[in-house]
């Protein structure tokens, strides 16, 4: 059978790819897209890593797989960090293995513990890093970890990001470069020593780089012309070429008769401001603070908070933020912010939240009031609305896990305004326009290439379509999922000779068979600190 490559590039966007291609960079990836049916890949709402990649590898929406952010629950119901064994849907590897097809998995976010597969797996983002040493138990089978270490020495799953300092230099790119080089060696070894017809591999580096340097790379941003931008951008382009060499390895592995699906879990755009949801709800009388917390409503305290945030170490400010959330008076609170990566709002619903006060009969009325309030919110700098639209969760989610999701999902200026859970921030909006930071966007990138595929650009697909399309190209039956096979991009003769076969399958869940030991306190603290450094917590 022909090989099938699922090539993931975390956060890649045409906003960056097009200028890179025009400048002669990433020739392997450009050639791949030039022979692909390609276009924009619509992400989840919100376009965040956890629901995005989990939707890609399960083919179902977050209401079915249950992953809405990096953590489960909310400030009232703290249920810990996400792990693969918390995913409530089968994954592509379950469907492939059930039909006797081996698969290789490399560096896919949200796949810790490493999936127990017929083939091999190396876990991705959210793997405990072992305090600076090579992680333990990050592969399946477990013995692969020692093999990788023997080839590359210290193996790092993810790099540390210093959100407050890394934008000033190329330091983060140098760390990414070193990390990518080790991963390239590791993946080469795995492919040389394992015979698998399906490979699903993710390069997460662009996401890390663009969170810090995006506005230096996108020509549409004013920062692009800043004197400090040129040397950083040039090093970024060099790094994109380093990624392209690893991409070239994978394209060569697929061969001339192989099928290649490339994807990103979301796109990228500028991060201009943050919307402090809890501050807004407090000003509108929908969230209350008690005791000493009530003092923070004053303009004087807000001014001090603004100064403190600039000079205090991040760890101190984050601890203060957590303690501040502990001052919420739940007996007088109708709604509150979801954790940042969930990008939503919870109603303090009686019978669902431990301290809920909103009666079920008032649920829709409270949601409608929040929608009205946010819809009327304007940015004083330009007088324009902050919110594009607010989704009720039932508009975008279906499935048994939907009741665990936030009740509302505001979309603010195409996600150039990020929701924050800050309670004692100086105002409803925090301004980041002077920094070169980037943030996730709904439009990622996809491409389908293979024998007889006619090149076309500017098309659109959903990330839910990746899993069923990959199984189809591998000649396999497809379980009942939310996505569909992208047959319109495939040769008519191939589709006619190979009808899509969708079948109800009794499959294990994505994390079944993994070692389900909870994170230790030290591991959880390390991962949470890493997420804070990326601005996710």
Least confident residue range of 6-15, 53-62, 518-527 = 518-527
pLDDT at 131 over 60: no
Q: What band does 128 get if pLDDT is binned at 50, 70 and 90?
A: confident
Buried b / exposed e over 95-117, threshold 16 CB at 10 Å, is bbbbeebbbbbbbbbbbbbbbbb
In this prediction, residue 193 carries a pLDDT of 97
Q: Following DSSP, what letter does each residue of 383-406 receive, concatenated?
A: --BSEEEEEEHHHH--STTGGGS-
d(CA 208, CA 531): 11
> What are the backbone dihedrals phi and psi of residue 445, each rounded to the nearest 5 degrees, phi first?
-130, 140
- Give the pLDDT mean for 204-220: 96
Measured between alpha carbons, how far apart are the two ends of the chain, in Å? 44
- Give the pLDDT mean for 189-211: 97
In this prediction, residue 323 carries a pLDDT of 58
In this prediction, residue 326 carries a pLDDT of 77
Higher pLDDT, 304 or 345: 345
d(CA 246, CA 183): 9
Predicted model pTM: 0.93
d(CA 85, CA 513): 9
The predicted-structure confidence for 438-479, as pLDDT tens digits, reads as follows: 999 999 999 999 999 999 999 999 999 999 999 999 999 999
In this prediction, residue 379 carries a pLDDT of 98
How many residues make up the chain in this entry?
537
Q: What band does 154 get if pLDDT is binned at 50, 70 and 90?
A: confident
d(CA 290, CA 296): 10
In this prediction, residue 400 carries a pLDDT of 98
- The domain spans of the chain are 4-270+440-533, 273-434
As beta bridge partners, residue 200 has 6, 105
The answer to whether 305 touches 320, Cβ cutoff 8 Å, is: no
> Domain 4-270+440-533 classified CATH 3.40.720.10?
yes
In this prediction, residue 518 carries a pLDDT of 66
The predicted-structure confidence for 74-86, as pLDDT tens digits, reads as follows: 999 999 899 999 9
In this prediction, residue 317 carries a pLDDT of 42
pLDDT at 305 over 80: no
């Amino acid at each position: 059978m022909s090989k099938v490559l699922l090539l993931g590039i975390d956060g890649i966007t045409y906003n960056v790819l097009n200028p890179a291609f025009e400048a002669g960079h990433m020739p392997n990836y450009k050639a791949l897209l030039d022979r692909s049916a390609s276009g924009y890949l619509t992400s989840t709402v919100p376009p965040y890593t956890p629901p995005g990649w989990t939707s890609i590898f399960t083919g179902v929406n977050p209401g079915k797989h249950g992953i809405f952010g990096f953590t489960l629950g909310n400030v009232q119901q703290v249920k810990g960090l996400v792990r693969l064994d918390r995913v409530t849907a089968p994954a592509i590897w379950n469907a492939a293995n059930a039909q006797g097809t081996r698969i290789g998995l490399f560096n896919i976010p949200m796949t810790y513990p490493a999936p127990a597969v017929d083939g091999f797996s190396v876990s991705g983002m959210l793997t405990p890093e072992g305090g600076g040493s090579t992680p333990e138990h990050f592969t399946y089978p477990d013995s692969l970890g020692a093999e990788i270490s023997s080839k590359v020495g210290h193996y790092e799953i993810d790099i540390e990001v210093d959100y407050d300092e890394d934008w000033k230099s190329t330091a983060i790119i140098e760390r990414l470069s070193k990390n990518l080089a080790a991963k390239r060696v590791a993946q080469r070894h795995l492919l040389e020593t394992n015979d698998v017809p399906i490979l699903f591999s993710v390069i997460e580096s662009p996401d890390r780089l663009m969170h810090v340097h995006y506005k230096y790379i996108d020509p549409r941003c004013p920062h692009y012309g800043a004197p400090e931008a040129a040397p950083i951008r040039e090093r970024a382009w060099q790094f994109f070429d380093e990624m392209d060499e690893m991409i070239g390895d994978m394209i060569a592995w697929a061969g001339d008769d192989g099928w290649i699906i490339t994807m990103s879990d979301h796109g990228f755009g500028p991060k201009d401001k943050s919307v402090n949801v809890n501050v807004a709800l407090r000003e509108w009388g929908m969230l209350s603070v008690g005791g000493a917390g009530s003092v923070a409503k004053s303009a004087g305290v807000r001014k001090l908070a603004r100064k403190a945030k600039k000079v205090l170490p991040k760890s101190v400010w984050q601890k203060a933020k957590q303690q501040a959330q502990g001052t919420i008076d739940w007996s007088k609170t109708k709604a509150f912010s979801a954790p940042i990566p969930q990008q939503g709002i919870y109603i303090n619903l009686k019978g669902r939240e431990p301290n809920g006060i909103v009666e079920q009969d008032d649920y829709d009325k409270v949601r409608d009031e929040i929608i009205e309030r946010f819809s009327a919110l304007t940015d004083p700098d330009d007088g324009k609305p902050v919110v594009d639209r607010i989704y009720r969760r039932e508009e975008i989610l279906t499935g048994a896990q939907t009741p665990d999701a936030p009740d509302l999902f505001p979309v603010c200026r195409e996600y150039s305004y990020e929701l924050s859970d800050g309670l004692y921030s100086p105002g409803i909006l925090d301004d980041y326009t002077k920094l070169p930071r980037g943030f996730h966007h709904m439009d990622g990138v996809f491409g389908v290439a293979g024998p007889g595929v006619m090149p076309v650009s500017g098309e659109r697909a959903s990330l839910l379509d990746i899993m069923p399309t990959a199984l189809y190209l591998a000649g396999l039956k497809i379980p009942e999922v939310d996505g569909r096979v992208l047959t319109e991009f495939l040769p008519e003769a191939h589709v006619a000779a190979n009808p899509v076969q969708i079948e109800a399958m009794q499959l294990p869940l994505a994390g079944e068979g993994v070692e389900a030991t909870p994170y230790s306190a030290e591991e959880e603290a390390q991962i949470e600190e890493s997420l804070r450094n990326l601005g996710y917590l």
